[in-house]
Amino acid sequence: MTALAPELVRHAPVNQRGIRPAQLDSSVPSSDGFELAFIERAGGIAATTSGAFYVSDLAHGAIWRCGRDGSAVPVLGRWRGAPDRPRSAAGLALAPDKALVVADPSGQRIWRVALDGACRVLAGDCYGHRDGAAGDALFRFPSGVAVAPDGTCYVADTGNDKVRTISPDGHVATLAGSIFTFADGQGTAAGFRRPSALALDGAGTCAVADTENNAIRLVAPDGTVTTLAGSPPGGSADGVGTGADLQGPSAIAAGHDARWWVADYANGSLRVIGTDGRVRTGLRLPERTWPVAVAVPGDGSVVALAASRATSRPTTVVRILDVSRMLLH
């Protein structure tokens, strides 16, 4: 069975392949007037400078290239037991050579996927924790990835509660984190609780969605961790820094204007963190819809948001949102 491509919602009837149209919500600021919907479980999303984006199916490892015109082209089909490709596809990131870097939590690996579908392991093997050469390093349910301009890959090693790096020559090291806790500090003095996604800004700062701490953390290149927004036990209030509340943040993306965009999963919201540290709610999704991935394609005028909708089968909805129409002031 081949991967199912999502279809332009306004022209997509329910068909024999099981693709169903999403219900357009008139309150959602959509710059292009469409959503993409397909019956898969959302994994990650990565944006290109041209405005296109890639979206993945977490459970089955499929990846599509999608356009703002509603087009969708499979890059990688569903996993059918082959050992030479990802079993699952969570976080996605684009490498400098335009290949995709994919976090595979089921396979405990980080993969490089070329745009022609060719796959190779960057690091990881089986369940565990070990730094070292790519073939010796071990991860525990890695969920998020980001790639720096020099090719260094940052990994949200969710099950190990750490942020790890993979150097361009394949060496894996722990940048920050130790045990399941909430603590700022440098290197292993810092603590995360199930970090699930991360993103890099132009200055090389790594922002981490620290999911079970209900916080966004910043990791400097030397491994120093500080808290940008939120804190345990979490909530939904806007505010500044740790005076703001988040609830299960699942993804983060760097904007083109030094803002951070956060998929605030349990609150069903898209949140924005400004340069002053103030957290604002940019969008509340319809009931029983939860944001799981976010990216900023093109010139930053829009945000691509992938969300899971509760239906009889897991459904992913990808929306293209017009930043100028969000109430962020």
Span 101-120, pLDDT tens digits: 999 999 999 999 999 999 99
Structure tokens at 124: 């990881």
Residue 167 pLDDT exceeds 70: yes
Quick: pLDDT tens for 71-111: 788 999 999 999 999 999 999 999 999 999 999 999 999 99
The HSE-up count of residue 247 (CA atoms within 13 Å, CB side) is 11
Residue 148 pLDDT exceeds 60: yes
Percent of the chain with pLDDT over 90: 65
Beta bridge partners of 44: none
* pLDDT at residue number 16: 24
Structure tokens at 194: 């199930």
The closest alpha carbon to 118, from 76, 57, 179, belongs to 76
* Mean pLDDT confidence for 261-268: 95
Q: In what order do the strands lie in the sheet with 92-94?
A: 92-94, 100-104, 109-113, 119-124
Asked whether the beta carbons of 156 and 196 are under 8 A apart, the reply is: yes
* pLDDT at residue number 5: 40
Residue with tokens 């349910």, as numbered in its chain: 141
Q: Which of 17-21, 31-35, 257-261 has the lowest mean pLDDT?
A: 17-21
In this prediction the pTM is 0.89
The closest alpha carbon to 92, from 144, 57, 156, 48, belongs to 144
pLDDT, the chain, mean: 86
Residue 10 pLDDT exceeds 70: no
Q: In what order do the strands lie in the sheet with 72-76?
A: 42-47, 53-57, 63-66, 72-76
Apex 148 CA angle, 144 and 151, nearest 5? 100
